[in-house]
Amino acid sequence: MKDNVDYLPIWKKGASADDRFMELALIARKHPERFKKIAVAYEETLANGCTVLRTVSDGCNTNELIGILELAKLKVIEDTRS
């Protein structure tokens, strides 16, 4: 159990996207086997103020990507229930 706690990212309030990805990169360097399939979704604000949803993935096909995103959605719901 201690092994897991040592490598969890510490999400600092107000941290930049760069800081958040760097924390994940540290884990990926130490434990690359944990990152067989990757899915990232983010909202980008364009210069005109409009937003667009972007996704990037690695190691998975379209069906697997959709599955990962759906499972992540369920995990968020589960983790935030009061």
The whole domain housing 24 covers 1-35
Same domain, 26 and 57: no
Number of H helices, E strands in the chain: 3, 2
Q: Whole-model pTM?
A: 0.73
Same domain, 69 and 31: no
User: Domain tally for the chain?
Assistant: 2
d(CA 72, CA 55): 14
d(CA 68, CA 74): 10
For residue 71, pLDDT beyond 60:
yes
Same domain, 75 and 51: yes
Same domain, 45 and 77: yes
Q: Which residue in 61, 63, 16, 64 sits closest to 42, CA to CA?
A: 16
Which pLDDT score is estimated for 9?
59
pLDDT digits (tens, 9 = 90+) for 16-69: 999 989 988 999 999 999 999 999 999 999 999 999 999 999 999 999 999 999
Token pair 């096909």 is at which residue?
A: 61
Same domain, 7 and 27: yes
Which pLDDT score is estimated for 82?
72
Same domain, 9 and 28: yes
